[in-house]
Amino acid sequence: MHRTIEITVAPTGEVTIEATGFTGGACERATAEIEKALGVVRSRKKKPEYFAMTSNRMGMSNRQQT
């Protein structure tokens, strides 16, 4: 899956950043520099896919322990 960042700038000065195709925390690392350059983060919502990837990683870790 292609990894893309879509940034929408509204006339109100509000910016929305959506990261697509990343796994786990990689998306936050990809957008952090843009967020820091632009201004103040008002909110950050993790999508279900974020938790799915985290959950998969934990499952793999448990299997390796057994």
Partner 1 sequence: MSHVTAIAVEIKDLDALDAACAELKCNLRRGQTSYKWFGMSVGDYPLPAGFTEDMLGKCEHVINLPGCEYEIGVARNPNNPKTYTLLFDFWGPGQRLQSHFGNGLQKLVQLYGVHKISSDLKRRGIPFVRKQAGANITIQAAVK
Residues found near partner 1 in the complex (CB under 8 A): 2-24, 27-28, 30-31, 33-35, 37-47, 49-50, 53
Q: How far is the CB of 65 from partner 1 (least distance, A)?
A: 26
Tell me the C-alpha distance between 42 and 52, whole Å: 24
Closer by beta carbon to partner 1, 37 or else 66: 37
The token duo for 65 is 């322990």
Query: In terms of Cα–Cα distance, which of 4, 8, 26 is closest to 17?
Result: 8
Closer by beta carbon to partner 1, 6 or else 64: 6
The token duo for 32 is 């952090």
